[in-house]
Structure 1
Amino acid sequence: MTSDLDTDSETAHALFQSYDAMEGVHHVPPAPAAPATWRSFAWRVYPGLLTAATIALAATWLAQHYGSPVMLFALLFGMTFHFLHEEGRCVAGVEFSSKTVLRLGVALLGARITLGQILELGATPIATVIGGLLTTIALGALLSRLLGQSRAFGVLSGGAVGICGASAALAIASVLPRAPESERDTILTVVTVTLLSTLAMILYPLLATALGFDDVKAGVFLGGTIHDVAQVVGAGYSISQRTGDIATYVKLLRVAMLVPVVFTIAFVVGRSGAAGGTKAPIPYFLLGFAALVAINSFGLMPKLALDAINDVSRWCLVTAIAALGMKTSFKDLAAVGWKPIALMIAETVWIAGVTIAVVKFA
């Protein structure tokens, strides 16, 4: 039984043998024994965890000073340190960061949402979000087969586009069946969805104006289509305060869909036996997500604590992204070709088209 300190599959290191490793190490090291105490656990984890956190810190500094997506910086910086995941003391900490730290960051996202924010939107935006999400995932699953990609990648990319970009990709990837290409597909999804979201932040406000949307319609359109929360905020408030508020609430509704979607995927994977013949693990981190939504909805947590939780969540996700970058080779990523990117562009165009149709004619 593997732990969050072990690599995702026995072939993970074997894959690197064909990638011209920097140090010429071509053996598969034995899986480390489970830690007997918290002290030994920390001793095994801290080199890789500290490296991932340092990369996250550097990426955050650059993002703040140059106004670029922090997730993209963390990914690219992490990939330059890929050799640290081939062998040595950093492997266990990198695995821990890409799994446990990731789940913690996703769980803490629940502090951003209240049920009141969702209900204030009314029926039409809620139906728009749900319809756009479900049809985008279905489109991803269908087109992935036509383009020669795995169905898992179609679900992963569709969920990332339909819910909340990089965060959704990480959460969905944590319950999908493990395969040799799992990390590569996750990294590719995060990179592509971040770039598409950045382009949407620039172009969609212009499109909303060209379509003659008022502040409310523009807010629903931006919140229902742009992938990442930060880009939704940037695009919405570039039009008006009202548009920014509505766009943020609609986007948070999409984030809230993370819980039922990931639970459903985990259930289907477990029932189908795709998780290696065993039941898929229960995504307990989503229970934490739901609990924080409930606590925040009833006003049981002070604003100072909520702000602290949001900061911790952001740092966990950036650190996890850096670790995933360290697990991925540039050569491996470049080998996937144009089809996965075309798939994600098609999903992005689809969800934008669905949302525009509802906003304009509903």
Structure 2
Amino acid sequence: MLPPVLIAPVLGMALRSRLNLRIIATAGSISQHALRGGVALLGLTLPFGGLVALGPAPLLLGIGAMLTSLIAGFWIARAAGLSCEEALLSSGAVGICGASAAAAIGSILPAGAERERQVSVIIAGVTPFGSAAMLVLPLLIHLLGFGDRIAGLFLGATIHDMAQVVAAGATISSAATRVAVLTKMIRVAMLPVVLIGMTLFLRLTSARRREAVKEGAATALPGFILLFLLFSAASSVMEIPPRLSNGAIQISSFLFLMAMAGVGVRSDFRQCFRSAGRCYMAIALQSGLIALFALVVIYTHLV
């Protein structure tokens, strides 16, 4: 069964031909607001104190895998012939949280049809690669003889999407699933920080990108990041009722799906997969890179 994060943009593409330009533009605006709302609500489920309390191992593997993808993975993508924007999208999607991260990073790129094509290609590529990792990595873990803790750390540091992490962990044990989810949460929590860093990077790379960011997402970006930080701080100093935190998770997931459906509506299917082969090769290399990083950390007994 195809995951919802892939179905949503495909359905959006299918509807595009039946919609007029005004509706397409409106869908684009709604999807951007939905995306920012989804990122902000993540703060209620990711308290600062809880992340620090996880200890050094999840922090080292989670942040280390993310930085490996963002830095080394970015240059791998550039060497594969991808544009700067495609390299940011692919390295961020692999390093943080898959399709959701791709959609979030897309919101800070210069607006236009090319951005929608790039985001659609990355979402279409990162989702099946994450699904493949969900199936293959548990088999690798059994072959390597990892215990529950190490298995959870490895899965949380390498698989792209949270749902895929949970599914892969469930094939091993409940203890491995818990460690995997906690490690993955570290990567997800870094999304607003990465968005700030990428915005600054885009401003510094060229006058064209500086102007595009200044006129586009830069005015809206601080608002939802500040809300994320505020919600995360609030959940650190007070106990959030389970019904509220669970509701925030459900609403955030729904908003992310709305945003990705909007990406599909704004994407021209005929142009979508131009240069897709290079994107998929980059995603494969980036995915392998963070898996290699995690194995090196594990076998050098740093965790």
2:214 matched to 1:275? no
- Report the counterpart of residue 247 of structure 2 in structure 1: 308
Query: Is 1:181 paired with 2:87?
Result: no
How far does residue 180 in structure 1 lie from its aligned partner after superposition? Answer: 3.9
Q: CA separation in 2, counterparts of 1:179 and 1:142?
A: 24
- The equivalent residue for 2:176 is 243
Structure 2 residue 219 is matched with structure 1 residue 285: no
Identity of aligned residues (%): 35
Q: Structure 1 residues 336, 221: CA separation in 2 closer, same or farther (over 3 Å shift)?
A: same
Shift of 1:131: 2.1
Partner of 1:207: 140
Q: Any residues of structure 2 matched to 1:1-362 within 5 Å, and which? A: 66=1, 68-84=2-18, 87-272=20-205, 273=207, 274-276=209-211, 279=214, 280-281=218-219, 282-362=221-301
Task: Name the SS of the counterpart of 1:148 in structure 2.
Answer: coil
Would the aligned equivalents of 1:81 and 1:326 in 2 still touch at CA under 8 Å? yes
Q: What is the alpha-carbon root mean square deviation over aligned residues?
A: 1.8
Structure 1 Cα separation of the partners of residues 17 and 213 of structure 2: 32
TM-score norm. by structure 1 comes to 0.77
| Whole-Å separation in 2 of the counterparts to 1:263 and 1:278 | 12
> 1:264–1:109: structure 2 CA closer, same or farther, 3 Å change rule?
same
Amino acid at match of 1:72: L
How far apart are the structure 2 equivalents of 1:189 and 1:115?
Answer: 30
Q: 1:180 to 1:89 in 2, by over 3 A?
A: closer
CA deviation string 1:71-99 (max 9, x = no partner): 111121111112245x3441232112221
Q: Single out whichever of 104-113 and 198-207 deviates more from structure 2.
A: 104-113
Larger relative contact order, structure 1 or 2 (CA cutoff 8 Å, min sep 6): 2
- Quote the offset at 1:300 in angstroms: 4.0
Secondary structure of 2:17 counterpart: helix
In structure 2, distance between residues paired with 1:104 and 1:313 = 7
Assess if the C-alpha contact under 8 Å between 2:138 and 2:168 holds in 1.
yes
- What SS does the aligned partner of 1:81 have? helix
Provide the rounded CA distance (Å) in 1 between the counterparts of 2:294 and 2:195: 22
For the 8 Å contact 2:108–2:213, the answer to whether it is kept is: no
Q: Which has the higher helix share?
A: 2
CA drift of 1:338 comes to: 1.0
Deviation at 1:254, TM superposition (A): 0.6
Which amino acid in structure 2 is aligned with residue 310 of structure 1? I
- Equivalents in 2 of 1:141, 1:73: separation in Å? 27
Distance 2:18 2:224 in 1: 28
- Long gaps (5+) in structure 1: 1-65
What secondary structure does 1:235 align onto? helix
1:140-159 superposed Cα distances (whole Å, 9 cap, x missing partner): 32123322221121111101
CA distance in 1, matches of 2:251, 2:58: 30
| CA deviation string 1:27-66 (max 9, x = no partner) | xxxxxxxxxxxxxxxxxxxxxxxxxxxxxxxxxxxxxxx5
Q: Secondary structure at the match of 1:270?
A: helix
Structure number with bigger Rg: 1
Contact 1:219 1:244 in 2 (8 A): yes
Bigger shift: residues 248-257 or 298-307: 298-307
Residues 233-286 of structure 1, C-alpha deviations (whole Å, 9 max, x = no match): 111122111101000000001101112111111122234441326633343211
* Partner-residue secondary structure (3-state), 2:210: coil
Question: What SS class does the counterpart of residue 240 from structure 2 fall into?
Answer: coil
Q: TM-score scaled by structure 2? A: 0.91
**Distance in 2 between residues matched to 1:114 and 1:180, nearest whole Å:** 37
Once the two structures are superposed, residues 278-316 of structure 1 have per-residue CA deviations (whole angstroms, 9 ceiling, x without a partner) of 633343211111222122222343221222222111111
What SS does structure 2 have at the residue aligned with 1:175? coil
Q: Which segment drifts farther, 248-257 or 167-176?
A: 167-176
Gaps of 5+ in 2: none
Residue 117 (structure 1) shift: 3.2
Q: Where does structure 1 differ by over 4 angstroms across 4 or more consecutive aligned residues?
A: none
Whether the aligned pair in 1 keeps the contact of 2:65 and 2:293 (CA below 8 Å) is yes
